Structure 1
Amino acid sequence: MKTKLIRIGNSQGVRIPKPIIEEIGLSEEIEMILKDNKIILRSAEQSRKGWDNAFEKMAEENDDQLIDKEGVEAPSQWDKTEWTW
């Protein structure tokens, strides 16, 4: 698809057709990456997206326990020799 640059204030931009925006799932915030002399536009990734649901599901399934609890709670060699109470 060919398109033209349009003036936006002192900058220039490209209009992205609505069907492409919907197909790709772009929202208000996007990432623009320059790679190998090409511009890549993609949806901005939301860090930790869906974590709240994942943690909730883990708690429901009682899968939110430490798997190395003994190792974490046991005193280390440093605790035994260097730490003073």
Structure 2
Amino acid sequence: MTTRLIRVGNSQGIVLPKKLLQQYQLTGEVDLLPTPEGLLIKLVAKPRRQGWDAQFQQALAQDPAPEGELLEGFTDDAFEETE
């Protein structure tokens, strides 16, 4: 695929076709990595579950046993009787 460099302010850029953006799921920020063969464009890998630990610790500080209310009224007596 061939494309042209275009002027973007004092810099230059390229326009990536929609099909390529969709195929490689490129959205938001990307990393540009120089390689001996050319320029590699990669999606910025954001760590999954970032901040979950802090949110979990905050929830525990507010109520150390939140699961108790969720399971109230549920038993496995029917399973025990049939099996």
Q: What SS does the corresponding residue of 1:26 show, helix, strand or coil?
A: coil
Q: Which residue of 1 aligns with 2:30?
A: 30
Q: Which residue of 2 aligns with 1:7?
A: 7
Q: Which residue of 2 aligns with 1:78?
A: none
Counterpart residue type for residue 14 of structure 1: I
Q: What SS does the corresponding residue of 1:12 show, helix, strand or coil?
A: strand
Runs of 4+ in 1 over 4 A off after TM superposition: none
> TM-score normalised to the size of structure 2?
0.56
- 1:37 Cα deviation from its structure 2 partner: 4.8
- Aligned residues, how many? 52
- 1:42 Cα deviation from its structure 2 partner: 1.0
Q: Which residue of 2 aligns with 1:20?
A: 20
> TM-score normalised to the size of structure 1?
0.55
- 1:27 Cα deviation from its structure 2 partner: 1.0
Deviation sequence 1:29-80 (CA, Å, 0-9, x none)? 000000115100010010x21464xxx9xxxxxxxxxxxxxxxxxxxxxxxx
Gaps of 5+ in 2: 57-83
Counterpart residue type for residue 20 of structure 1: L
Q: What SS does the corresponding residue of 1:21 show, helix, strand or coil?
A: helix
Separation in 1 of the partners of 2:45 and 2:20? 18
Is 1:49 the counterpart of 2:19? The answer is: no
Gaps of 5+ in 1: 57-85
